[in-house]
Structure 1
Amino acid sequence: MNVLIVDDDKLVRKGLMVLMPWKQFGLQVVGEAANGEAALQFLQNNDVQMLVTDLAMPVMSGIELMRTVRIRFPDIWLIVLTFHQDFEYIQESLRLGAIDYIVKTQLEKEKMEDVLARIMGRIAEETGKRPPASRFLPEENEKLQFQSGTGLVLLSLTPRQDSDWTRRLPVRPGDFMTEVEQDLWLWVQGDSDALSLQGEDLPERLQVEPDIVLIRLPDIEGFDRGEAVKWLREFRNRGLLYELEAGKRLYDISIVSEQENWPIVFEDDVREMHKRWSSLSWVNNDPVFNEWLTDLKLMRLPKERLESIFYSAVREWERTLSADTISGSRRIGSLLYWYEWEEWLRETRRSMIDLTNKSMYSGSIVDSILKAADLIAQDITLQTGLVEMAGTVHMSRSYFSQCFKDIIGKPFNEYVRDRRIAKAEELLGQTGIPIVMIAERTGYPNEKYFSRLFREQTGLTPSEYRQKQRGALSSKK
């Protein structure tokens, strides 16, 4: 694939071009552009299959560029390159068709090979193109219906180097077998009686293949082959993520039941889930944690939506608790199945409980302080002072002040200031909103006071900070 990189920071463009192992994944950077308009001109005259674009750029933003590319070049894969893990921007980019996103600040924590492997894996999931070596599926037979009532799906939990290993299985004349996509096979036997026996014996036969999971489809009869393959591709991206259990190798899943009960999720539902998990009200509350965990699983969000929620939520947790890192031992990008997500959330929750309970306050006191911190985080324009907030959570001023500092790690007023400055940094780096409006949106109606405070905390004026993030300083051009 030919790749175009779009970012108004020349150092970012050159860094990505030189440091990312493009060739290792069959990719080649054929061009670069400093803004959306320049990118569109390049696309008009060059063959490009993948576009990696920043969100905040002068002349034409990344969001505007994506909207245009979706119409004029609908076959191009879109990758978002962003400085901040901002939930709203990530959701908008996914809605516009982005296949994945790269957070610049995360590149130091993640191997660049892992980033490209994840992106190429998602492209493979989306295309679902059958490998040419799939010898069991003639094109003209795709519209034929299955006559057997049961099928088998074989899923490899780890990438397989031996692509022909299925040749060792007892595939008979009249059987249908195809590699639906990488590491996912569908096998339907022509003899339904033999299939039921094979279905029982197969797990034992595959003891030498411990990374293979088997899924029986008891009601595949009557489905078109192409229809079944399409359903399986979609089910892998969302359904299997939630169905698989640690250590379990054999499953029975009904296609009809899955289709009938598939949840309909709206953008407002995703935003509400993000709002829930970005708060800390679940940390010391077992019923709430378990209820929200169940609700999240029932939504069956695609992996990239889960990641966007929790990348952003982790940032909120770390800001609230003044911690450098509080997430589990595994990176979010490495979580493939729901049981891994659940284990990660439980591990992260234990870390957060340890952080908030280090001062040995009672659970009710911790909950009150976390509620106060959440109220500020949810609306940083809130002008509630220490005295008013103490009253909101039914605590005396002095006791609230001491508890807040012990549990959150900084005084109340300092916490409010830091949250506002952090939000201002995001707005300056990701949008073209005038500074006077950014001051108002971060709780500072007085622009001069906001600019002075911002410089005290960051060493730069708001304008200088925006220029630095956009690569507009002459030293970066």
Structure 2
Amino acid sequence: MIKANPIFYQVLIADDEPIIREGIRDAVDWASLGMEVAAEAEDGEEALELALGRAIDIALVDMNMPFMDGISLMKRLKEERPECRFVIITGHDEFAYAQEAIRLGVKDYILKPVNADHLVSVLRGVKEELDERHIQDNYLKKASEQIEKNIPLLRERFCQEWIDGQLEESEAVEQLEFLGLPPKLPVQAGIARWPELTVPQPLMKESDRQLYLFAMENIIGELLQPAAHVLFRDRTGHIGMLLWDEVPAKTCADAEQAVQKYLKLSIQMHLEQVREDSGGITSAYEACREAVLRDAQLSPLVRRARQLIQEQYADPELTLESLAAALQVSPVYLSRTLKKELGTSFVVFITQTRIRKAIQLLNGTDLSILEIAERTGYDSQHYFSTAFKKVMGVSPNGYRKGLAFQEEKGS
């Protein structure tokens, strides 16, 4: 159980009669109650100034003071120091302010002339209440610290449940805010696969594997900056990621190269767009899983070729011949290898890459069709529109107007 540290509560005596103030001050052994008289005031305005300047915990307040009466003083203090406790001093048994006093949280009231035993009894009750508040504050502080310490673990568990499809979107958004993440659907999901984690006989000790995984997370995290993101370990131990800001496709290749350079390890990393529906996270992450498994089967040549295409798709001069020259192989050999490993030709692959990027620009920007054509490697708007319609079944303008989706519904 958490024990409250010894606290001397600060007391203010506010009464316009000096003899009353003196009587209250001398009638109580304040130290034995864990209190001390921090200030005395003869009117309401002075009492307010002293209470705010000295962080008063308990205010003994006379109802009828000049400049500012007791109720007005308590209202102001309630606003400025809501944790302050009030005890009213009044000369009337008929307490006309009872309803207002209860609303302001008055603990009790003392009749003049002040009875010492009654005053001490009331003050003990106030002290118990303040002690309980401090114990509660300590519990809440400890709980908050514990939650803060466990945020990475909570994030990991949350992300795992989300990609497994165990959370509704509304529930997920609520938890995102609590976990310090953007309270909306991510735009990308990703995975970094390290083959060492799936081999039957690991080549290194578990402690070394965890050290390398931590280093990989640091490298990937730096490359994802400044995009809002979270990294986590999925059920297979691989590094999962959710991003709330889009990063370029070449980020995956950059991460793979950086891990190879600094850690001398080979990984496969893949990112997917997240659809704006309830199953978007799950399907995007599953697509990432399948993609890195496919990537693991690719030769270094095809992986490098694909990376260069993703980096240079906006260049109209990018051809099979120029790509082969950059990779120092013959165009025939490159074409045959791409077809064998990717199941598609160079022309189809680069077209798919360009159209995929064009779709992102059509959905996420107000760029003109000509500007999108130029940004995706097409010499002319006409050539771009022809290629787009051949792949998508509608023109770029039609796609932007939603015609593709209308046709899907119609069919």
Instruction: State the TM-score bracket (shorter-chain normalisation).
Output: 0.3 to 0.5
TM-score (norm 1): 0.33
Which structure has the higher relative contact order (CA within 8 Å, separation 6+)? 1
TM-score (norm 2): 0.38
